[in-house]
């Protein structure tokens, strides 16, 4: 990417920060973010291994996108709400979602927040301002706008951040959400992770526009492009968008330029539709490596600290997996709950028939 392309950048090649857009993060804040970025990647690797072993059914990773995901969430306030896609578990953990509860979701146990009703990586945590994840592409966009609009009506100081990929810009929800937010000046930050691929569909087949950010103009919404592999630039850009929203000036569309270094999910083989040579140039801009180099230059991090962090994450993860694998699945009758305050007669009848019927053998026995 050339330096004059309008993309916001902060971390320079010499590991200094551009003072024009420097978000002013303290050393402690950068260390906090770096630890969570590393934790996210380590968990990605271990969850893929569990899926390959047949112990969990699915995982959506964030390899190469950690700066975009965690930097955006970090820039939001505790009282704001985030509406995720399905790739942002690292940001949820950073906001306070417990690792153990997340692992329960991966195994679909009785302690899963969605009670085993969704596939892995589809969880919710209202306590940390995290909306429920759903698989249909783009649906979280209108949900984020509606939530922020409701808060605005109630005069609550709440903004929303919604994550989505470049593929979701082709959905009707993108148009509906952007149009409504623009008209009513809703404090929503539309955070598009332009990671190059919508599963196997490249960006060139997704839009004829030069950028995704420029799409905001059609809705009266400013669009900003940011280096999604530059943690400092992401934090600075989202903070500016948040400030704009809470002051009543409405939404902002952010296009974070990054790259999906792995497959779309554990069900995907990216080697079938893209060559490996493109990964080399993006690997040199690995967001985690860039932050580590910055910290090492400032003598805030070293190999020993890295080893301690890896051991810490491994121990916590192994313990969480051990607990989840000992935890039974949700009771069958729970599938009839959480929909009606008072279940109608026909559901009560079906529940009784279910509980009285035969049982299939457990796949884990």
pLDDT tens for residues 142-161? 999 999 999 999 999 999 99
Catalytic annotation on 264?
yes
| pLDDT 10s digits, 72-91 | 999 999 999 999 999 999 99
Res 239: pLDDT: 98
Res 3: pLDDT: 52
pLDDT of 107 over the 90 cut: yes
Q: pLDDT band at 182, cuts 50/70/90?
A: very high
pLDDT of 54 over the 90 cut: yes
pLDDT of 365 over the 70 cut: no
DSSP state of 70: H
Catalytic residue among 59, 95, 260, 290: 260
Domain segments of the chain: what residues? Answer: 7-330, 332-365
Q: Lowest mean pLDDT: which of 149-158, 161-170, 293-302, 327-336?
A: 327-336
Res 153: pLDDT: 97
Catalytic annotation on 273?
yes
pLDDT of 184 over the 90 cut: yes
Catalytic residue among 193, 225, 264, 290: 264
Strand order across the 7-8 sheet: 7-8, 223-227, 252-257, 188-194, 160-165, 81-83
Rounded CA-CA distance 324/121 in Å is 15
On whether the CB atoms of residues 51 and 334 are closer than 8 A, the answer is no
How much is the average pLDDT of 32-36? 98
Catalytic annotation on 260?
yes
Mean pLDDT, rounded, of the chain: 94
pLDDT of 25 over the 70 cut: yes
Res 283: pLDDT: 85
Rounded CA-CA distance 62/75 in Å is 19
Tell me which of 3 and 67 has the higher pLDDT: 67
Catalytic residue among 273, 298, 308, 318: 273
| Both structure tokens of 342 | 């008072």
- Specify the CATH number of the domain 7-330: 3.40.50.970
The SS3 of residue 194 is: strand
How much is the average pLDDT of 182-205? 95
pLDDT of 17 over the 60 cut: yes
pLDDT of 4 over the 70 cut: no
Res 134: pLDDT: 85
């Amino acid at each position: 990417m050339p330096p004059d392309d309008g993309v916001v950048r902060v971390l320079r090649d010499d590991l200094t920060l551009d003072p024009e857009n420097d978000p002013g993060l303290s050393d402690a804040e950068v260390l906090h973010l770096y630890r969570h970025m590393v934790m996210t990647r380590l968990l990605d690797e271990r969850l893929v291994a569990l899926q390959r072993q047949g112990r969990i059914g699915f995982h959506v990773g964030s390899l190469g996108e950690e700066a975009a995901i965690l930097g955006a969430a970090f820039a939001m306030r505790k009282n704001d709400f985030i509406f995720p896609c399905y790739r942002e578990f690292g940001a949820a953990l950073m906001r306070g979602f417990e690792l153990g509860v997340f692992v329960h979701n991966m195994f679909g146990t009785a302690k899963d927040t969605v009670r085993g009703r969704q596939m892995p990586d589809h969880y919710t945590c209202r306590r940390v301002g995290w909306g429920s994840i759903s698989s249909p592409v783009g649906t979280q966009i209108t949900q984020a706008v509606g939530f922020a609009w409701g808060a605005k009506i109630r005069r609550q100081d709440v903004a929303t951040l919604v994550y989505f990929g470049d593929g979701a810009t082709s959905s009707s929800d993108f148009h509906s959400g952007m149009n409504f937010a623009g008209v009513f000046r809703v404090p929503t930050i539309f955070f598009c992770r332009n990671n190059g691929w919508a599963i196997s569909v490249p960006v060139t087949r997704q839009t004829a526009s030069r950028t995704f950010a420029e799409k905001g103009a059609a809705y009266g919404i400013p669009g900003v492009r940011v280096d999604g592999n530059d943690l400092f630039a992401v934090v600075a850009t989202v903070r500016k968008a948040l400030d704009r929203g809470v002051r009543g000036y409405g939404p902002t569309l952010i296009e974070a330029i990054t790259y999906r270094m792995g497959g779309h999910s554990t069900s995907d083989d990216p080697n079938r539709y893209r060559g490996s040579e493109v990964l080399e140039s993006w690997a040199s801009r690995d967001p985690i490596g860039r932050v580590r180099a910055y910290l090492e230059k400032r003598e805030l991090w070293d190999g020993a600290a890295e080893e301690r962090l890896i051991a810490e994450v491994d121990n916590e993860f192994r313990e969480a997996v051990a607990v989840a694998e000992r935890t039974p699945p949700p009771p069958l009758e729970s599938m009839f709950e959480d929909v009606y305050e008072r279940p109608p007669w026909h559901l009560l009848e079906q529940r009784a028939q279910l509980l009285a019927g035969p049982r299939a053998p457990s796949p884990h026995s």
